[in-house]
Amino acid sequence: MKKTLFSLLLLAACSMPQGIRTTGDLRLQSVQPDVVAGCPVRAGDWMALKGNRFGSQADWDQGKSYALFPPEPGLRAEAPEITQAANPATLMFRVPKGAESGILHLHVEGVGDAEIPVTVQGIAPQMAVPGCEIPSPPPPPR
């Protein structure tokens, strides 16, 4: 039993992207582009987070849940939208103009918080880094 429990804990620790800190019940499975591995983002780029849950769309729309980019006190991510509610939950948003490299602070009301390291650069699209593709924008609202 101890061996199985240890194996499950080890698997959970290894599957969580390194460099991301979470609190509460928030669990992140992946970030696209993989900013933890050093993939840069630019203002206007879409980012996608996959995790266990991102609260309600109403909390994002009302500003109770938010993603803040550096510099301090923080620029709010643009157009945050839960595009998939579960299995895994998916949150998409755009990097705001004026964002700088540092720590992206994510707050999900009633769930938890995360700190995600980001590198913000002004590279042209034709100079994109292989393996660092940005996600497609979410479909238009119905």
Written as tens digits, the pLDDT of the chain (142 aa) is 555 544 433 344 444 445 899 999 999 999 999 999 999 999 999 999 999 999 999 999 999 999 999 998 899 999 999 999 999 999 999 999 999 999 999 999 999 999 999 999 975 554 556 778 888 888 776 6
> What is the value of pTM for the model shown?
0.79
CATH number for the domain formed by residue range(s) 2-124 = 2.60.40
The Cα 51–Cα 7 span in angstroms is 21
Cβ atoms of 70 and 101 closer than 8 Å: yes
The Cα 94–Cα 96 span in angstroms is 6
Q: Please count the residues of the chain.
A: 142
Bin 44: left if φ > 0, else alpha if -120 < ψ < 50, else beta.
left
